[in-house]
Amino acid sequence: MVADALITLKRLVKDGPFIAAIIAGPVFWAALWLSELTILEWGGSVSNPSQFLLLVLIYPILEEIVFRGALQGWLRSLSWGTQHWGKITVANLVTSIAFTLAHLIINPVLLSAAVFIPSLVFGYFRDRYDRLQASIILHVFYNAGFIWLFAGILVA
Amino acid sequence: MNNLNRVLIAPILFLIAPALAHSDDALPTTRLLPVITESPSGEPLAPEERSTPFLAHLGDLSEFDYVEEEYEISGTGNIYDYVDNAAQSSEVAISESGVPYVTRMLIRRPAYAANFNGTIYVEILNSTASWDDDPFWRMSYGTFANAGAIYVGITSDPLTVDFLRNRWGAPEFVTRNRDRYANLTMDRFGQVWDVLSQAAVLLKDDDNPDNPLMGFGVERIIQTGFSQSGGFVKTYANSIHSRDVEEYGFPAYDGYFSSVHGFSAKKINPPPPGEGDDFVGFGDPRRLIDVAAPAIRFQAETEMLAIFAANTGRQVETGEPGGPKIRTYEMAGGVHVDIPLETSGLLLRERDLGFSTEPKECGLPVTPIRTDYIQSALLRAIETWVRDGIEPPPSSLIEIGRNETNNLIVIQDVNENALGGVRSPQIEVPLGRYIANPFTIFDPCFLEGAFIPFTEDRFRELYPTDSFYVQEVDRAISSAVADGFILAEDAESLKDDMLADAGIEDNTGSRSGCTLGNKGNPDHTLPLLLIIALLYQLRRKWLRTHS
């Protein structure tokens, strides 16, 4: 399993789409800041390290296992699951809708809607590699950047 | 007496000697004062027959599963005098003993002992108006109830004892049964210290049938005083706390909270009204708290200068080993009487005294700054300090300087609001200029403060959009909660107040106490995600081993 992960990582660092997805993160954050939908409050979130780790590491990994692993994996096994529009499969689209709706339970509408596009990106890489490593790495990276830049003081 | 008798009598004398020596410190007795509003047959009573507590809680305590009881408390105590007043020493000695008193305790407690968290807040009921007032309760009863703490208000001044016994219930106020407080007596103010000691020791005596809280398991008592009563707290802490430890073997009070009390401290045995100063003066070190127990001094900006002159008696925690455990908090923009305290006071005075509820005429709008939120957080902080040894949050003091005419002023920011001090979210996200220092004591609203709102242009300069204002509010409240100056349970309420003050509706769906990007309360979804992830992984493993 570790060897498998390393092989995937070696492929990822040479993979154009993956590098583009990594770069898209900071571009998205800059757009968020310029839109004034949120405010820059960087660094404060690490004052609550356990909460920070929960949101940056634990949640992304679990969400990828549940959504991209379990749900998207099951949807792909269905006859229509692998039908696609461009690079986006039906399985990915449905999973991303479910992912967005799940965020609505405990997040504001705007923030929940904002996770839809990243979810499609995670789902794309899950389909591309048939593994979760890429989507986990991206999810961790996106959460870490967003929360470190914008989440300010985290409150338990 | 033969030798055998001496041998038998000696140990007996040894055992009873402490009781004899401290006979003046025997614990008081109590008697429940029932609430009577109906006849035995259920008919409503005429006003002069109704017997209800003066200062009964305004609302319905059952929403917290709390009850209110009033007790008459009777005992004898000492009156003290300073050993060396010329040297301005806090040390006191008994000047008179066996002085009887009968006063009252208002107890607000959980209906069931199982819901009690072990903490009592005793409020020295404020006597400034010549009748009792309970500002701590009215400002923070939600805070007490949410924690399961007990509140006890004690009538602590001959002035207010006299009012209850001789004046309340008379036709010029609100007609009530005049017998309720007929037994109350407290001739001299100097009796108050033993009243407070004995009441607290009684409340801690879990096996005493005179203890209204027998069986509750009281673990700690925090003494509180608001405004003038805050000056009583200082004197008690300095002069009586150590005597309690010596006489009872434990402190009657485990912590002290003195609120909006300005510079002064009550004298240990003040002269009767009109016959001299009853507070120690400027420069007297007894204005500062020096006690081997956690103590918080909380000042609103109103107290800092002018007649209250809190700036002349500031105490900064040095952190030196063995030094007094003091925390001083000065709330920027804070006022002596905020709007909720004023409003509830009007309702109380209407119900219990028959006064009008018309608010005072103030030349400017009254400040919307809420002192209660900060005070409530600090009340919780001192409980944590006493119980768990966790020190309250650090804070700076309000910045004070001198103007061009060498007069003391509060240093202000570009919005003409105070710099430094405890920063309420309301002053961090201001809507205008908050004037907390009294213009003059002759101004009818000098305790309530004033407010000059921003112009529309200035408001939009600071907050280009309504959603940006909401976001700033969320950020400021989250920060204050994290710093310990706003309780998490008060975050939503404070946000509602701030938005209402700005005339803005919150359409962002953001939650105060959390920031945009926080998953609100992640704990609700975490177990579900864990279970699903685990099941998925187990299924994969099963498929691999069986394929």
Read off the pLDDT of residues A53-62 as tens digits, 9 standing for 90 and up: 888 899 999 9
Pick from B507, B518, B524, B536 the residue to mutate for testing the A interface (most A CBs within 10 Å). Answer: B518
For B185, half-sphere exposure in the C-beta direction (CA atoms, 13 angstrom radius) is 8
Residue B232 in tokens: 């009583």
pLDDT at B323 over 80: no
What are the backbone dihedrals phi and psi of residue B175, each rounded to the nearest 5 degrees, phi first? -65, 125
Which residue from B475, B509, B510 is facing A41, i.e. has the nearest CB?
A: B475
Give me the amino acid identity at B109.
Answer: R
Distance CA A69, CA A123 (A): 9
Q: What pTM was computed for the model? A: 0.73
Question: CB distance from B357 to chain A under 8 Å?
Answer: no
- Could you tell me the two tokens for B459? 């408001």
How does residue A4 score in pLDDT terms, banded at 50, 70 and 90?
Answer: low
Rounded to 10 deg, the angle between the B339-353 and B371-388 helix axes is: 90
Instruction: Verify whether the Cβ–Cβ distance B515 to A107 is below 8 Å.
Output: no
β-sheet bridge partners, residue B220: B119
Does residue B235 contact residue B265 with C-beta atoms inside 8 Å? yes
Out of A36, A54, A150, the one facing B517 most closely (by C-beta) is: A150
- Average predicted confidence (pLDDT) for chain A: 81
Other beta carbons within 10 angstroms of residue B351's beta carbon come to 16
Cα(A87)–Cα(A133) distance, rounded to whole angstroms? 19
pLDDT at B439: 62
Residue A36 banded pLDDT, cuts 50, 70, 90:
low
Among candidates A39, A54, A111 on the partner chain, residue whose Cβ is nearest the Cβ of B471: A39
Residues from chain B that touch A48, judged by Cβ atoms under 8 A, are 482
Query: Is residue B328 helix, strand or coil?
Result: strand
Mean pLDDT of B152-177: 92
Answer for the pair B24, B97: CB distance below 8 angstroms, yes or no. yes
Beta bridge partners of B401: B409
Contact B518 A155 (CB under 8 A): yes
| pLDDT at position A114 | 79
User: pLDDT at residue B148 above 90?
Assistant: yes
> Does residue A83 surpass a pLDDT of 50?
yes
Determine the Cα–Cα distance for residues B484 and B377; give it in Å rounded to an integer. Answer: 7
Give the three-state DSSP class for B230. Answer: helix
- Cα separation, B359 vs A17, whole angstroms: 68
Q: Tell me the chain B residues in contact with residue A108 when contact means C-beta distances shorter than 8 Å.
A: 508-511, 516
- The vertex-B480 CA angle with B478 and B484, nearest 5°, equals 115
Helices (runs of H) and strands (runs of E) counted in chain A: 9, 2
* Confidence (pLDDT) at A62: 93
Find residues 74-113 of chain A whose CB sits inside 8 Å of chain B: 102, 105-111
Neighbours of B378 (CB within 10 A): 28
Q: Give the DSSP letter string of B118-136.
A: SEEEEEE-B-TTSS-B-HH
Cα separation, B333 vs B435, in Å, equals 7
- Percent of chain B at pLDDT exceeding 70: 89
Task: Tell me the pLDDT tens digit for each residue of B364-407.
Answer: 888 999 999 999 999 999 999 999 988 898 888 999 998 888 88
Confidence of residue B230 (pLDDT cuts 50, 70, 90): very high
Q: Name, in order, each residue with C-beta under 8 angstroms of B39's C-beta and a sequence gap of 6 or more.
A: B45
pLDDT at B190: 95
Distance CA A61, CA A63 (A): 5
* Cα B124–chain centre separation: 9
